Amino acid sequence: MNPCRLTGLGVSPGIAVGEPVVQETRPVAVLRIPLPESRAETEVKRFRLAVDATIEQIVENRDQAAQQMGEEYAAIFEAHHLIAADTSFLDPVCEMIRTEAVNAEWAVDQVVARLVEKFEALPDQYLAERKLDVLDVASQIQRSLQGHDPAKLENLEGPVILVADDLSPSTAVKLPLDKVLGFVLETGGPTSHTTIIARSLGIPVIVGAHGACEAGHHSRRLILDAFEGKIIFDPDPAEEEEYISRRNEHLEQQAQLQEVRALPTVTRDGREVSLLANIDLLTEVDEAVHWNVRGVGLYRSEFLYMQRSPALPDEADQTEVYRDLVSSMVGRPVTIRTFDLGGKKLAREVTGSDEGNPVLGLRGIRLCFSKPDFFETQLRSLIRAAGMFPQGQVRVMFPLIGCIEQFKVARLLVRRLTQDLRNEGFEVHDSIPLGAMVEVPSMAVMAEEIADEADFLSIGTNDLIQYTLAVDRANELVADLYQPTNPAVLRLIARVIKAGADRGVDVAMCGEMASDPLMVPLLVGLGLKRFSMNPQAVPKIRSLVRQLSYKDAAAMARKTLKLTMAREVEEFLLEKLAISLAKVKIRV
């Protein structure tokens, strides 16, 4: 009998081999029960008691998360607490109970359905996934109303791989995580709170594995490969041995990477490279510090907006977040990108209208200029936060700069707001380093001119590739045309790096290419010295750089720039780098 094989999205790396335990979430049956009008207030009171009981449970979950994972992860349950106490959720439920004279279960079900529909309509994946938090809180309220006690997973006896259609944070935090080898989930995404919890604990996770529960019911053994998004049910003995060997190899490699954590990121012939962290959430800072990064090369501040949306956090709230971020980096410089909203990130919610092609529309710096109050609030917060630290520790970067005028206008605005804050009695620096994202081809073509204006540059390869090649990176129909090795892209990148070097202006890269093992040696050869990436990628890239010769990488780069086709570039790099990649056990 051939093993059943499924695929999904690996969102927390690792390999697990073991017995599957299947947990399917059975929706609580909800009926519409008409009530006498005289009982409406009694029903509202019953609903309020259920909410109080749910909040008590959320507080317990929060305390347990704080003990297991730390305060940053306990904040997930603070969000649940806010949902459970939110009048925009509670009041409509009470109103429906009173006006329609129906049972609380039905009212909760209907109000939550409307909220979920609104979340699902959002174009941004991170915010759309927040519907899972609403559903988690709602299911706890329903269980309290109905006196339903869900199946408990706390009593797992041995190491298992949990296969589930869904796994809420309130369930995940109660698991005996020392007995869970991995998660296979039919739903979820890379930014769901359950994924964040698992990633923090180093548990491999695959999401989007449709059909996993059905297959799990009929299987005794399971292989989970979250590196490649593969799930194998009832593998043959030889295949299981192969994956056990891979898992052990990965664990050994992780131990070896720990050994180079404190070593400098320098090539064999002495060329020093700075590895920086891309940060979305403050929960990622500890890992960045652990891997000894030189600073934060990109803090995506729009995640602050998306966590609080639809209400923009005020100046004081933002200042506090930026202060905490910089403090936690212990003296290392932090580059904060101003809100890069629009495009496919809350396009309709922020711009107030639908755009036919939002990626080419009102996004990035364009959106900020169109909403001056929105933009000035953030800039004031950044200037205030920068004033709390030594000069240069906080750097501000503007996204999607398409022309020199845009950067100059943004710089003038910062100068005016700095003077305003000083007049108001705040301690601020005379200036703070201001940089431009180079992600629009026009700025790569004018690299010399933007380097004359900006204090630093950062190449955003994700957008630079899609704009240069006219390819929507999220469109599966043209995904094969999204080519980092395209010679046109590489020549633009080389031009930006050279322009910075000629003028003594720092150039970093913060797109996915900065952590691509095949591209890093080429970028080192082109002269790039600053690489910003997901903290999890730092140890492998450090090990890879330490295997390189800058002289050889530079020679390879010169030959690469003479090639004319993406396939030629890829084959040439694979041939030249085979030995270096093998030494650090990197598969490409």
Which segments of 490-568 are extended strands (E)?
506-509, 530-533
Amino acid at 68: Q
Cα separation, 73 vs 290, in Å, equals: 17
- What phi and psi values does residue 22 have, to the nearest 5 degrees? -100, 130
Task: Report residue 274 as tokens.
Answer: 């700075």
Nearest CA-CA partner of 342 in 372, 370, 378? 370
Helix (H, G, I), strand (E, B) or coil at 508: strand
Residue 239 in contact with residue 232, Cβ under 8 Å?
Answer: yes
Cβ within 8 Å of residue 341, ≥6 positions away: 302, 305, 347, 350, 363, 364, 367
The single-letter DSSP state of residue 29 is P
Tokens coding 436: 């431009």
CA distance 40 to 458: 60
Q: What is the full DSSP assignment across 287-356?
A: HHHHTT-SSEEEEETHHHHHHHTTSPP-HHHHHHHHHHHHHHTTT--EEEEPP--BTTBSHHHHHSS--S
Q: Is 544 helix (H, G, I), strand (E, B) or coil?
A: helix
Q: What is the DSSP letter of 165?
A: S
Q: By CB neighbour count within 10 A (0-12 exposed, 13-18 middle, 19+ buried), where does 183 fall?
A: buried
Catalytic residue (choose from 4, 94, 368, 510): 510
CA distances for 270 relative to 256, 265, 344, 509, angstroms: 22, 9, 42, 21
SS3 207: strand
Which uninterrupted H or E stretch holds 182? strand 180-185
| Alpha-carbon dihedral 443, 449, 450, 456, rounded to 10 degrees | 130
80 as an active site residue: the answer is no
Q: Is 250 a catalytic residue?
A: no
* Rounded Cα distance, 522 and 179, in Å: 43
Look up residue 331 and give its two tokens: 């003296």
DSSP 28: P
Nearest to 166 by CA among 148, 193, 142, 141: 193
Question: In sequence order, which residues have a C-beta less than 8 Å from that of residue 280 and are 6 or more positions away?
Answer: 191, 300, 303
Q: Under 8 Å CB-to-CB from 529, ≥6 apart: which residues?
A: 272, 273, 274, 506, 507
How far is Cα 324 from Cα 86, in angstroms, rounded to an integer? 26
Q: How far apart are CA 492 and CA 499, in angstroms?
A: 11
Q: How far is CA 412 from the centre of its chain?
A: 32
Q: What is the DSSP string of 383-402?
A: HHHHTTS-TTSEEEEESS--
What six digits make up the tokens of 27?
């929706």
Which is the catalytic residue, given 4, 94, 193, 213? 193
Active site residues: 193, 510
